[in-house]
Amino acid sequence: MKINEERINDHILKVELQRAFQNPRWILIVLIGVVLFVIGKTRFPQITVTGEYAINTTNRLMLAMSYSELAFIVPLLVLIPYADSLLNDIQSRAIDFLIFRSGRKDYLRSKLFAIALSGGVCLVVVLLVMVLSSSVYGINFKSGVYATGMVNETEPFGPFNWLFMTKPALYLIYLFISAFLFGITYSLFGTAMSLVFKNKFIGFSIPIFVFQIVDFIGVSMNPQPWYLIPLRGLMPFDTARQVGDHDLLLQLFQYLVVFLSSLIIIRLVMKSYGKK
Amino acid sequence: MKNVIEADNICKSFGKNHVLKGLSFQVPEGAIYAICGKNGIGKSVLFRILTGFILPDTGSVKIHGQQIGIDLEFPKSTGILIDRPGYMPDSSGYANLALLGQISGLADEETIRASLELVGLDPDDRKPVRTYSVGMLQRLGLAQAIMEDPQLILLDEPTSGLDYESQIEMHELFLKLRDQGKTIVFTSHSPWEVSRVSEKAFWLVNGKLQEEAPAHVNGK
């Protein structure tokens, strides 16, 4: 298939990115970030302590993540910006005029790139809003102190936990990267499910359902196979379940399995669509 | 005269339903041709094959000398209006066309506005497309088909949903486009429309094309 591929490639990608990032849903995402922080600080008031006993900014975010509803809504949260757009294009039949100009492959590649990027950025924005919200209590990156709800814990679990103890600002970046990868993965998973069920509301409820079920099974096992627990990728420091250290490669493997499965499902569904 | 469309022995079946049984025809440059037939006879299937949305089981379609599905995925320099055209429902008509023009890189603000005005739509109308009537959607589809100044225009039931006066307006538009050197192929189930606009009509009957209208159309 020739059809001026290189030139059109850029155009459809630009259009899809515009559609993904220039939409009012981002206002909702910012608001959700603020609400999650408020819930977190209400449940764990140490977040609000200022002065000599103030915990560092990274620690504030970690506590707000742990003590808010983030863990519950996160598989849905990453679907808000743009994950329904592929199904919307199909159901509105707008896809016909789009692919006629861009080609099927370029459309799908650009669409999935925009969905994945918006999912990843969405979660980073939420964490960033939580960090900015916490900045009303001051910003500091003091090292060596770790506050948690668990009395026995003196440092976070998971990859780069040593980084938190020495350079909390860098650990914050790791959390952002981890959240970004999580967002990419689960936004594509939601898109795949919306296509399978041909209904975004049913499709979007599947990631929450799977997420909670797998998480429940994972934490019920002894020893806990942390790589089965999806939330561990987003909150690798989580101490509530006492799972111990885990490996970064296994964390990435967990993302990869969901990511690739989603791509395969989307490809199969789109292939059958193309034959109609 | 050079042929813009060359269809050769097109067959298409869906399960045991043989919709198209070996269709061959050519459309010369600068002509208006019609593909006619009753509703559900397979006109839209043929149309989707011509536009590259589905591939024939056997046979080939060449547009501007390039085979669809082999040389190209979709035909070049071609404007299309598909049956029940779809849009981004929450955007205005202009915004929809602007986005499509951005993808092709072949339509700017000026040409989009001109196309909308040509089909009788207001380019400054900010109403979302979901509030458009069937006739307005059809007009928007026509504007979309012509905005990139294509040489070939393929229209599936272009006047469906339009009132009598609007149909006359559209027919005049087709003739004007033809006079500009465009080639137009449209599907229709209306013998009146076909006789008014097209230079030649192919009738789709039992999966085959014939140049003579079937008996029930001629009142025989």
Chain A contact probe: residue of B103, B108, B132 with most A CBs at under 10 A: B103
The mean of the pLDDT values for chain A is: 88
Instruction: For chain A, list residues whose CB is within 8 angstroms of any CB belonging to chain B.
Output: 1-3, 7-8, 11-12, 14-15, 19, 88-89, 92-104, 275-276
pLDDT attached to residue B211: 79
Going by pLDDT thresholds of 50, 70 and 90, the confidence category of residue A108 is very high
* Overall domain count for chain A: 1
Cα–Cα distance, A17 to A120 (Å, whole number): 13
Q: How many CB atoms lie within 10 A of CB B56?
A: 23
pLDDT attached to residue A246: 59
pLDDT attached to residue B218: 56
Residues on chain A touching B102 (C-beta within 8 angstroms)? 11, 14-15
CB B102 within 8 A of CB A102: no
pLDDT attached to residue A1: 42
Task: Tell me the three state secondary structure of residue B166.
Answer: helix
Going by pLDDT thresholds of 50, 70 and 90, the confidence category of residue B213 is low
pLDDT attached to residue A217: 84
Domain with CATH 3.40.50.300 in chain B: 3-77+151-218
Q: What is the pLDDT of residues A33-45, one digit of tens each?
A: 999 999 999 999 9
Domain made up of B3-77+151-218: CATH architecture: 3-Layer(aba) Sandwich (3.40)
Q: What is the pLDDT of residues A41-60, one digit of tens each?
A: 999 998 999 888 899 999 99
Q: Which of A200-209, B68-77, B96-105, B205-214 has the lowest mean pLDDT?
A: B205-214
pLDDT: which is higher, A116 or A160: A116
Cα–Cα distance, B158 to B151 (Å, whole number): 17
Cα–Cα distance, A210 to A231 (Å, whole number): 12
Q: What is the pLDDT of residues A130-172, one digit of tens each?
A: 999 999 999 999 988 888 877 666 788 888 888 999 999 999 9
Specify the amino acid at residue A11: H
Question: Which of B73, B15, B5, B13 lies closest to B45, judged by CA?
Answer: B13
Chain A contact probe: residue of B73, B77, B80, B129 with most A CBs at under 10 A: B73
Nearest CA in chain A to B97: A97
User: B57-78 in b/e burial notation, b at 16+ Cβ within 10 A?
Assistant: eebbbbbbeeebeebbbbbeeb
Residues on chain B touching A98 (C-beta within 8 angstroms)? 100, 103
pLDDT attached to residue A151: 67
Question: pTM for the complete prediction?
Answer: 0.90
The gap between the terminal CA atoms of chain A, to the nearest Å, is 20
Q: What is the arithmetic mean of pLDDT over B100-124?
A: 95
Residues on chain B touching A94 (C-beta within 8 angstroms)? 86-88, 96
Task: Tell me the three state secondary structure of residue B70.
Answer: coil
Sheet holding B32-36, edge to edge: B78-81, B152-156, B183-188, B32-36, B200-205, B208-210
pLDDT attached to residue A234: 84
Cα–Cα distance, A32 to B145 (Å, whole number): 42
pLDDT attached to residue A5: 46
Check if B99 contacts A (Cβ < 8 Å). Answer: yes
Chain B contact probe: residue of A4, A19, A82, A101 with most B CBs at under 10 A: A101
pLDDT at residue A7 is higher than 50: no
CB-based burial label for A222 (10 Å; 0-12, 13-18, 19+): exposed
CB B129 within 8 A of CB B89: yes
Q: Which of A95-99, A266-270, B30-34, B187-191 has the lowest mean pLDDT?
A: B187-191
Query: Backbone phi, then psi, for B123, in 5-degree steps?
Result: -65, -20
Q: What is the arithmetic mean of pLDDT over B52-80?
A: 94
> Which residues on neighbouring strands pair with residue B35, listed in sequence order?
B187, B202
Task: Tell me the three state secondary structure of residue A163.
Answer: helix
Residue A266: domain span: 5-274
Query: Backbone phi, then psi, for A206, in 5-degree steps?
Result: -65, -50
CB A236 within 8 A of CB A153: no
